[in-house]
Structure 1
Amino acid sequence: MSSFVKPENALKRAEELINVGQKQDALQALHDIITSKRSRAWQKTLERIMFKYIELCVDMRRGRFAKDGLIQYRIVCQQVNVTSLEEVIKHFMHLSTEKAEQARSQAEALEEALDVDDLEADKRPEDLMLSYVSGEKGKDRSDRELVTPWFKFLWETYRTVLEILRNNSKLEALYAMTAHRAFQFCKQYKRTTEFRRLCEIIRNHLANLNKYRDQRDRPDLSAPESLQLYLDTRFEQLKVATELEMWQEAFRSVEDIYGLMCMVKKTPKASLMVVYYAKLTEIFRISSSHLYHAYAWLKLFNIQKNFNKNLSQKDLQLIASSVVLAALSVVPYDHSHRASHLELENEKERNLRMADLIGFNVDPKVESRETLSRSSLLAELVAKGVLNCATQEVKDLYHLLEHEFLPLDLAMKVQPLLTKISKLGGRLASASSIPEVQLSQYVPALEKIATLRVLQQVSQVYRTMKIESLAQLIPFFNLLVVEKISVDAVKHKFLALKIDHAKGVVLFGDKGLDSDVLRDHLAVLAENLNRVRAMIDPPRKKGSKLGDILPSLAETVDREHKRLLARKSIIEKRKEEHERQLLEMEREEESRRLKMQKITEEAEQKRLASEYEQRKNQRILREIEERELQEAQALLQEAVKGKRKGKKPILEGEKVTKQSVMELARTEQLRERQEMEKKLQKLVKTMDYLERAKREESTPLIEAAFKEHLVKEQELHEREQQQEIELSRQRHDGDLKEKNRLARMAENKVIFQERVMKRRQVDYDRLRAQREEQIRQELQARKQEREILRKRKFFLIEEQKRREREAREAEARRIEEEERRKKEEAERKAKLDEIAEKQRQRERELEEKARLEKEAVLGRTAEPTRPFEPPVGARPVEPPAAAAAAAPAPGKYVPKFRRGSGESTAPPPEPDRWGGGRQDDRAPPDGDRWRSGDDHRTSFGGSSSRSSWSSSRIPPRGER
């Protein structure tokens, strides 16, 4: 649209195009108006244009157009009228949501309409064929055709709005509301992929907000209102993630909340922290991280106890029981046993990270790997009185598992306690933010802990036990599960046992020499040696000869033992030193690489920053110069106009500069403004006096007219009320008379009504039977038509196949005939060439023979004096003897051109008019039998030029 078209006219034109159905042209016209350079001057009309533009974009599902228009409108309204932008965005989201809901309702209505008993009566044949081919149900196809496009557009709407409002401090509430609505959209329709993308989008927005701190309208996170909005958005994200069971995204949401709290250095309200820790306990429970789950429960217990004044004793007892059971569910051994140094460092960093998330202040310089451990957690529960708040069953269970030593009765005493504990739980009435607590979720882990305690205590008492006896001591699991638990405990050095299935026993406390880490092999060896020494040198056999031979066996054993211990310590130190050196080398290499990378990146950033600053300064200077030049030219033109009107713009001879022109214009504007203000003040005073005089004169007249009007209104009201009473009485009397008159017809009315209903029922039954018969006939006709169509299609396909087959056969025959004809032609040509070659060979042989005979004849009859010289230009003539000699024998084949030379009686040819003899093509002269390659003839008077008869003449094809 052209720039000079007014927005009102453009809006009318767009409405006309919409009425005639040309929505695309109307949308393009409005887009041109919104993106034009003069849109800032049309703010009042531009809002109405934006509403119409948004309606068209939603109706046509043009998300890209809507985004472009909203970005341009944001530029126009950012500093002037932000409320208008907010209204337009709300209208945009409302229309998109409404269209999506309408599409979903339409799809549901269509599905209900198709849910009938008779499929053939309500579905077309092509619909049934489509369902058989595609394998989709009607609802899936209707959703894909109706609902999915609108859901895609609604999702695109949310993304567009979030992108437009991401760095707008004046519309933070609208940004938060849009994020909440997008979360609810993902939750309502189970859109897990879109929810993951939405979380990533919001996370990137916050990262960019911290990265670019010099933006003009950047939201201030230190403000309480802004921080509360961002925290509410993250907590809503966490709730929706847990409800959708997207636990990875829920954990990332927890990290987002913690990062936001660290960014602003401020702790949220206690009500939000309750939700935070409640969701954290659920995440750790799903991930089977019992230790972190217990710590999160402890933090939640402390918050509820300190800040929830309405917390009842029953709910507090239930929360304390959950904390204690969660702590008891942690396995009593360390999983980091036999781990490498790198794995230990990763585990330490992981513990520190989890401790930060849970809210415990952990010193990162502490070298202990048990930053968060089961023992410290249980000690803290006892020290802070959490155990005293728990139920009696939980207390008894704690004492049995942690302090009692009952290897044979521990499982039997734990089992009834677990049965009672599994029945406890429910909703917390005084703590609605915490989800439903069920203590039965800890029973499987507690059974495993009880099994480990039984195995640990039995291993301290017995060396050997039958497998059946051990299975009777542990009623929770079968033998396979117990064996699996035992293997895991032995792997982490919590137990020392072996199971011998061949003998059916369990061996405790003896790892044997087949272990890969022989921690106690030296002690076992010393015990065996002492036993051997006692057997060799018993106390009662002091006079033994072997004892006399080995008097210093004990000293030797002790000395060897100390040497082996020293050697072991040296080896361990060397290993540790080697590992330390390797780790130092890796750290130095990594630090060197990171330092070089950092130096390179900083140099590149400095270079880019300097180039950007230089270009920016150049652009600013260029714009300033251009703006000053334009302003000077405009002021000069105004000065020239003022001079034409009789004003004194500039003194003649004075140098025209921008400062002088601007000073003159400023002075002129100030003078005109002062004059205008004086005129306005005078006019205001005049209007004030006039208005006051008018009101003083009209006041008594208005009061008199009002009193007169009140009297008239009172009289009119009384008169109309009396008339209404009379009319009501008359209508009542007439209605009574009419009722008495019609009362005697009531029985006849009932009889007539029954007669009419019977007649209509008969008509309805007849029409229904006709309709059913008609439907049956139509179904039969449709079946016949389908059958005829199927047969016709089959015959058409067969006819087409037959024609294609005949065409292929005809083409094959044509190609075969063509090849055969070419082959015959080639054979015939080869045969003719062969015959011609034989003919030429035979002629050459005859010529050679005749030449030899002629030479022989000439040699005998030639005169030695001088050769025969025919006259110049005359035809050479053979002698009679030579002619006779050259004559062929009777019965011998002679070519045509040879036959004339053999007739001796033929007269010599007469000379022609040019002095030469008459030549005959059929009988060339003998002199022509010689080679044509000789330039000088030695025959009878032959000419020196080449003769056309130098070679044998090949007869034409007809003569052959």
Structure 2
Amino acid sequence: MATFAKPENALKRAEELINVGQKQDALQALHDLITSKRYRAWQKTHEKIMFKYIELCVEMRRGRFAKDGLIQYRIICQQVNVNSLEEVIKYFMDLSTKKAELARSQAQALEEALDVDDLEADKRPEDLMLSYVSGEKGKDRSDRELVTPWFKFLWETYRTVLEILRNNSKLMALYADTAHRAFQFCKQYKRTTEFRRLCEIIRNHLANLNKYRDQRDRPDLTAPESLHFYLDTRFEQLKVATELELWQEAFRSVEDIYGLTSMVKKMPKSSLMAVYYAKLTEIFWISSSHLYHAYAWFKLFLLQKSFNKNLNQKDLQLIASSVLLAALSAPPYDHLKTASHLELEHEKERNLRMYNLIGFNIDTKLETREVLSRSSLLADLVSKGVMTYVTQEVKDLYHILENEFLPLDLASKVQPLLAKISKLGGKLSSASSVPEVQLSHYVPALEKVATLRLLQQVSQVYQTMKVETLSKMVPFFDFPAVERISVDAVKHSFIAMKIDHMKGAIIFGDLGFESDILQDHLSVLAVNLNTSRSMIYPSQPKASKLSAMLPSLADIVDKEHKKLLARKSIIEKRKEEQERHLLEMEREEETKRLKLQKKTEETEQKRLATEFEERKRQRILREMEERTRQEALEFINDVVGKRTKKKGKKPPILEGENVTKQTLMELALQEQVRERQEMEKKMQKLIKTMDHFERAKREEAAPLIEAAFQNRLAEEKDLHEYEQQREVERSRLRHDEDVKEKNRLARVMEHKREFEERVVRRREAEYARLRAEREERLSQVLKARKEERDMKRKMLYYLRTEEERLTRLREEEEAQKRLEAERRKKEEAERRAKLDEIAERQRKREQELEERERLRKEAILRGTPIDAPTKPLSSDLPGSGAAAPAAAAPAAAAAPSESTTGGGKYVPKHRRGGVAAAAAPPAQPDRWGSAKPDDRAAPAPSDRWGSGKQDDRPAPAGDKWRPSFGGGGARPSKFSR
């Protein structure tokens, strides 16, 4: 398999492989290049490579390869060049469509080419054998071989493109266009199954869009452009579904439109709503839901009346008549009067659903008082003024069926009105979105309603009636049909009647059935017996005991009920947790299984495809060789057999492995030459015979032909003279009659000229008046447009200047903010520098104090006298300047003060001067009476290095250190040895 080392040589190498016939290798190499990482980093000729790759995929019908390549190309172009992806996808769809149309045209041309007189001359033996074995016609076989694979590929193309473009905000227009093209494909070729799948695909895309709201390029449905594309796609889906007569899918499309608008809380345009209600009328009429059909017509009437400014009076009258007839066609009784509780709940949900769909109520829910019924619809029609637009026949029919009481004449008065109504209808010229209105559709339903009204009114007047009388009163149906209608009405408690076929009579009234009387006779007997027993044997104590037990029983039942509810909720929660856990495990296992299965299938498909191609190539070669050999054998046997058969010999059969094609061709040529020579001899002999025979026939026929010609000349001469005489007589008679007619009409010529002049003058005056009105109207329109243009120009100038002013203000504010930010930044830097400097000083002071404290503690531990400081501060060290001697005295004076007062207590720096000054008071007598001044502040003798340190070497043995306070009575220090 070929691979491309460098992407720059991809196109050139692919074209070389295609030229030598290795299209499969070229496609595989381009696929490997597109799906590799180096292709993503290469930005020069992406589009050219994709076009060549798409051409190969379409030519070889490899949908999976095309899908993989487009997915990789989408990853590359999604953020940098979406237009390139759009062009590649459009090219992919256009090329697939052209290939499918070309295959279809080729199949049609092949069908026309086979349409000849002599079918046996053009058909091959293989075609005849296929036709007898498979039972297929030539068109079916050509469609299966040529058209069907390309149509499958085109359908796969649409699915691939929709899957790639789904939930992509940048390619919404292309997604909608692809969906429209797929709908037109299903409509053009009547593909109902593919249309259902396409609707399900689009529905799943919207569901996933709502489910995964954290996608990167997810379209915003609240945006007008996105909502327009989604709604336009679903309205096209609704139109195609109705044209294909897929009514269930059309109803699901209606629900999709309602769900989408409910999701975004935004009503569509009035033109789209007109299409919506028009399709709803068709759907409900097909489903025999007359009440919902009438409501849809009513909504469509209100919409057209409110928003269609071009609606003329005739079309409005036709729509109003259709609304009223649709309402009258609904059955006048409730179907759920005798229904069970489950059916009532189901009908309630259905009514809620239909109310939302018909009313397009996207914000509120159905209230209990809002019920879809025939009576409420007729009341709305009267209150909304629909009755003022209907035709007179429809209005009369409404009054007869709903307001008048005519038990005997109702059918006879309704029948002529229905006959007139059935002739009304047609296409609406001023409402293109409304379907063609044919009032004749409502005639069967109206006949049924009229029959029900007649039965209802007759049941209120008569108690019994003969069957023949009722049949004469109902001219629409025969009696079995009336019986079926009456059974349905009795079932829903609309009328009460019974038919006695034995007597041929109809009995009206609530008679009931024997089964209704006997179904509860045992329970009635038990109740009566219980009542009798309680009257004979009253049991007051038991009743009182039971009444005393009832309160506690209610508490017990309530507690048990609460326990059961709590237990049920716990069990439900555990079940949900277990199901959730199992579902997650199943999902993980299914994901792993699908990945493994996909990998195995891809490997197996590649292997099978390779083996299939190789077997196919070998089989085609063998078939070609075998077919050539068989044709030559049949030809030579046929030629030799014909020749030997004429001579009465047995034809030779040439078979076996040693017979070659060259031998067969030589034999065939020899037989053809021999046959041609024999035929030429026969033709020469036959030509001579036919010449003699033809000469003899002409010699005998020449005198007979001459005699017949002379007789024909005489007959035609006599006939010509006779016809000429008759024509002269007829011309004379016509001339006399025309002269009389001219004299008769000459009297009215003056009146004719006067009438003509009067008509011309009236029409000229009318033309002048209409022309003046038109010019006046045009001048007003031009003036209004000029004013509107001036106003718009002023408004645009004002908006432009206001926008420039706001832009200037915004720029000035941004500049001010930048200056303020820079100033704050500078102040913050200065403040931080000062704080860092203060912190550095503080740190140095703390280090010096810690060092001094450490030295003092070391001196105490070594036994050094604490009179003198062990180590001065950094400011007291030698070399610190002239301030060194002055600073040494306070430091030396501070040491005794610290040792005597605080015992090593820390003194802050700002208080050290005061402490040192206070540590040197005038000499005062101590408690022993000694007035010797304190000599602890005296400087220690310098050591040999001149450091001023006190010698901390141990004293000689026997000597005892005494404090330098003076006085012999001083007690020893704790440091004395």
1:247 aligned residue:
247
Query: Aligned partners of 1:608, 1:143: CA distance in 2, in Å?
Result: 44
Gaps of 5+ in 2: 522-531, 536-553, 589-634, 657-977
* 3-state secondary structure, aligned to 1:43: coil
Query: Aligned partners of 1:177, 1:108: CA distance in 2, in Å?
Result: 29
**Structure 1 residue 40: Cα displacement:** 2.0
Q: Is 1:212–2:212 an aligned residue pair?
A: yes
Distance change (3 Å), C-alpha of 1:514 and 1:784: farther
Distance change (3 Å), C-alpha of 1:88 and 1:444: same
**Contact conserved, 2:4 with 2:33, CA < 8 A, in 1?**
no
**Structure 1 residue 68: Cα displacement:** 0.5
1:461 aligned residue:
461
**Contact conserved, 1:258 with 1:357, CA < 8 A, in 2?**
yes
User: Percent of aligned pairs with the same residue?
Assistant: 76
**Structure 1 residue 385: Cα displacement:** 0.7
Q: Is 1:340–2:340 an aligned residue pair?
A: yes
- Cα deviation 1:619-672 (Å, max 9, x = unaligned): xxxxxxxxxxxxxxxxxxxxxxxxxxxxxxxxxxxxxxxxxxxxxxxxxxxxxx
Query: Aligned partners of 1:410, 1:588: CA distance in 2, in Å?
Result: 64
Listed as ranges, the matches of 1:340-489 within 5 Å are 340-359=340-359, 361=361, 366-367=367-368, 371-489=371-489
- Cα deviation 1:82-123 (Å, max 9, x = unaligned): 111111000000110000000000000011111112111111
**Contact conserved, 1:311 with 1:430, CA < 8 A, in 2?**
yes
**Structure 1 residue 41: Cα displacement:** 2.4
Query: Aligned partners of 1:520, 1:405: CA distance in 2, in Å?
Result: 39
Query: Aligned partners of 2:652, 2:641: CA distance in 1, in Å?
Result: 14
**Structure 1 residue 513: Cα displacement:** 4.3
TM-score (norm 1): 0.56
Distance change (3 Å), C-alpha of 1:443 and 1:592: farther
Amino acid of the residue matched to residue 253 of structure 1?
A: S
- Cα deviation 1:346-402 (Å, max 9, x = unaligned): 10000000000011659767556x811111111111111112211111100000000
* 3-state secondary structure, aligned to 2:259: helix
**Contact conserved, 1:318 with 1:425, CA < 8 A, in 2?**
yes
Distance change (3 Å), C-alpha of 1:603 and 1:18: closer
2:132 aligned residue:
132
Listed as ranges, the matches of 1:493-572 within 5 Å are 493-514=493-514, 516=516
Amino acid of the residue matched to residue 149 of structure 2?
A: P
1:46 aligned residue:
46
**Contact conserved, 1:39 with 1:76, CA < 8 A, in 2?**
no
Query: Aligned partners of 1:112, 1:498: CA distance in 2, in Å?
Result: 67
Q: Is 1:324–2:324 an aligned residue pair?
A: yes
Q: Is 1:169–2:169 an aligned residue pair?
A: yes
Distance change (3 Å), C-alpha of 1:81 and 1:397: same
**Structure 1 residue 238: Cα displacement:** 0.3
Listed as ranges, the matches of 1:571-610 within 5 Å are 598=576
Amino acid of the residue matched to residue 177 of structure 1?
A: D
- Cα deviation 1:137-191 (Å, max 9, x = unaligned): 1111000000000000000000000000002111110000000000000000000
Gaps of 5+ in 1: 522-555, 560-576, 611-776, 797-960
Query: Aligned partners of 2:574, 2:442: CA distance in 1, in Å?
Result: 52
**Contact conserved, 1:3 with 1:38, CA < 8 A, in 2?**
no
**Structure 1 residue 515: Cα displacement:** 5.0
1:195 aligned residue:
195
Query: Aligned partners of 2:407, 2:483: CA distance in 1, in Å?
Result: 18
Query: Aligned partners of 1:600, 1:359: CA distance in 2, in Å?
Result: 42
**Contact conserved, 2:641 with 2:652, CA < 8 A, in 1?**
no
Distance change (3 Å), C-alpha of 1:447 and 1:589: farther
- Cα deviation 1:679-721 (Å, max 9, x = unaligned): xxxxxxxxxxxxxxxxxxxxxxxxxxxxxxxxxxxxxxxxxxx
Amino acid of the residue matched to residue 298 of structure 1?
A: F
Query: Aligned partners of 1:165, 1:364: CA distance in 2, in Å?
Result: 35
Q: Which consecutive aligned stretches of 4+ in structure 1 deviate over 3 angstroms post-superposition?
A: 1-4, 360-368, 517-521, 583-610, 777-785
2:608 aligned residue:
none
* 3-state secondary structure, aligned to 1:99: helix
**Contact conserved, 1:199 with 1:237, CA < 8 A, in 2?**
yes
- Cα deviation 1:19-45 (Å, max 9, x = unaligned): 011000000111111111011222221
Amino acid of the residue matched to residue 280 of structure 1?
A: L
**Structure 1 residue 193: Cα displacement:** 0.4
- Cα deviation 1:751-797 (Å, max 9, x = unaligned): xxxxxxxxxxxxxxxxxxxxxxxxxx999869979x99xx999x99x
* 3-state secondary structure, aligned to 2:514: coil
**Structure 1 residue 270: Cα displacement:** 0.3
2:491 aligned residue:
491
Query: Aligned partners of 2:652, 2:364: CA distance in 1, in Å?
Result: 87
Amino acid of the residue matched to residue 67 of structure 1?
A: K
Query: Aligned partners of 1:2, 1:218: CA distance in 2, in Å?
Result: 39
* 3-state secondary structure, aligned to 1:372: coil
Query: Aligned partners of 1:143, 1:585: CA distance in 2, in Å?
Result: 70
Query: Aligned partners of 2:453, 2:179: CA distance in 1, in Å?
Result: 50
Query: Aligned partners of 2:219, 2:398: CA distance in 1, in Å?
Result: 51
**Structure 1 residue 516: Cα displacement:** 2.6
Distance change (3 Å), C-alpha of 1:365 and 1:153: closer
Listed as ranges, the matches of 1:621-640 within 5 Å are none
- Cα deviation 1:327-356 (Å, max 9, x = unaligned): 000101111122111110010000000000
**Structure 1 residue 125: Cα displacement:** 2.8
Distance change (3 Å), C-alpha of 1:401 and 1:508: same
- Cα deviation 1:584-613 (Å, max 9, x = unaligned): 999999987765555556788999999xxx
Amino acid of the residue matched to residue 13 of structure 2?
A: R
**Contact conserved, 1:179 with 1:233, CA < 8 A, in 2?**
yes
Listed as ranges, the matches of 1:776-795 within 5 Å are none
Distance change (3 Å), C-alpha of 1:112 and 1:84: same
Distance change (3 Å), C-alpha of 1:268 and 1:120: same
Query: Aligned partners of 2:27, 2:162: CA distance in 1, in Å?
Result: 23
Query: Aligned partners of 2:484, 2:261: CA distance in 1, in Å?
Result: 43
2:539 aligned residue:
none
Aligned length: 570
**Contact conserved, 1:3 with 1:36, CA < 8 A, in 2?**
no
Query: Aligned partners of 1:350, 1:486: CA distance in 2, in Å?
Result: 27
Query: Aligned partners of 1:792, 1:517: CA distance in 2, in Å?
Result: 98
1:689 aligned residue:
none
Query: Aligned partners of 1:585, 1:330: CA distance in 2, in Å?
Result: 50
- Cα deviation 1:273-305 (Å, max 9, x = unaligned): 000000011000000000110111111111101
* 3-state secondary structure, aligned to 1:502: coil
Distance change (3 Å), C-alpha of 1:104 and 1:269: same
**Contact conserved, 2:4 with 2:10, CA < 8 A, in 1?**
no
Distance change (3 Å), C-alpha of 1:778 and 1:414: farther
Amino acid of the residue matched to residue 358 of structure 1?
A: I
Query: Aligned partners of 1:334, 1:501: CA distance in 2, in Å?
Result: 28
**Contact conserved, 1:328 with 1:446, CA < 8 A, in 2?**
yes
